């Protein structure tokens, strides 16, 4: 990550904050679910950490990290850097009273926001948009797919989705405005309860991965762009564990067999 972290601004006092500790603090908060003010004293002051979180959200650092690490994970797995297929799905999450905007999802009976994500066939994040929960998937899809551009994903050919994305003339819109095609994966007729659907399960698995991060167990953020940043940070952390698993085990005090080092 080091080459992707923005350097200090020219002029003024030299940067004294350890960027590695700032990144560790942000990962700690995302994984543990604590508030900014409750960051342990081992990390830099919480306000400093929060200021870097905000700055990197505004200057596109988190987006750059997601894109660069995603290509690294794909190449390490023997795949092309750019995906040719993707899946789209959404997840409704409750919000707190501080949320600037939220809505009521009548299907899930939840008041909050929806996380709309697009992932590749490995489950790696391509795009995320946070919207009020009362906006239907077919309507919200245009906003998240607006971030899946031909310039950034020139090889994308197919997008898998569930039947909710057949509405609001979404297939016609994709056919007119996008190079890739939309394929609907529907549930078998008469099926009840959970059904593992081909292709679509990849996006659902990504939501399960993100569910390990307690900051995402509920939408605690005031602003939608902060919620999107938290999803990106969790994805970055997941991809770093794929690229450097041994480093993560050593940092947590575990051997390869899962046992702690002797004191």
Could you report the per-residue pLDDT of 133-182, keeping only the tens digit for each? 999 999 999 999 999 999 999 999 999 998 889 988 999 999 999 989 99
Q: In degrees rounded to 5, what are phi and psi of residue 248?
A: -70, -40
Percent of the chain at pLDDT exceeding 90: 78
Confidence grade of residue 259 (pLDDT, cut at 50, 70, 90): very low
- When pLDDT is cut at 50, 70 and 90, the band that residue 186 belongs to is confident
Sign of CA dihedral 222, 211, 139, 126: positive
- In this structure, of 20-34, 114-128, 248-262, the range with the lowest mean pLDDT score is 248-262
pLDDT value of residue 197:
73
SS (H, E, C) 168-222: CCHHHHHHHHCCCEEEECCCCCCCCCCCCCCCCHHHHHHHHHHCCCHHHCCECCC
Site of tokens 């947590």: 252
Which residues, listed in sequence order, are joined to residue 116 by a DSSP beta bridge?
Answer: 90, 129
The burial of 80, by beta-carbon neighbours within 10 Å (0-12 exposed, 13-18 middle, 19 or more buried), is given as: exposed
| Torsion angles phi and psi, residue 88, rounded to 5 | -125, 140
Q: Where are the alpha helices (DSSP H) in the chain?
A: 19-32, 46-58, 61-76, 137-145, 170-177, 201-210, 224-243, 245-251
pLDDT for 97 beyond 60: yes
Which residue, 109, 133, 119, 153, is CA-closest to 224? 133
- Residues in a beta bridge with 94: 112
Q: Could you report the per-residue pLDDT of 50-62, keeping only the tens digit for each?
A: 999 999 999 999 9
Structure tokens at 255: 């051997």
């Amino acid at each position: 990550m080091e080459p992707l972290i923005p350097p200090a601004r020219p002029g003024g006092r030299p940067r004294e904050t350890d960027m590695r500790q700032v990144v560790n603090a942000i990962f700690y908060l995302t994984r543990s679910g604590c508030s900014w003010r409750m960051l342990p004293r081992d990390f830099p002051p919480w306000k400093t950490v929060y200021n870097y979180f905000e700055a990197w959200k505004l200057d596109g650092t988190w987006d750059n990290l997601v894109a660069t690490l995603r290509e690294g994970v794909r190449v390490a797995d023997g795949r092309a850097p750019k995906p040719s297929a993707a899946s789209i799905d959404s997840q409704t999450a409750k919000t707190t009273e501080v949320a600037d905007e939220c809505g009521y999802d009548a299907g899930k009976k939840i008041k909050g926001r929806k996380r709309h994500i697009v992932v590749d066939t490995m489950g790696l994040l391509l795009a995320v948009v946070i919207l009020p929960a009362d906006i239907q998937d077919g309507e919200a899809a245009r906003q998240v797919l607006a971030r899946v551009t031909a310039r950034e994903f020139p090889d994308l050919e197919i997008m898998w989705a569930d039947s909710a994305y057949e509405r609001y003339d979404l297939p016609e819109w994709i056919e007119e405005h996008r190079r890739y095609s939309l394929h609907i994966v529907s549930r078998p007729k008469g099926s009840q309860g959970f059904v593992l659907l081909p292709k679509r399960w990849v996006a659902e698995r990504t939501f399960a991965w993100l569910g390990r991060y307690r900051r995402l167990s509920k939408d605690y953020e005031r602003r939608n762009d902060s919620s999107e940043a938290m999803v990106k940070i969790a994805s970055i952390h997941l991809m770093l564990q794929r690229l450097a698993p041994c480093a993560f085990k050593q940092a947590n005090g575990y051997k390869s067999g899962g046992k702690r080092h002797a004191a």
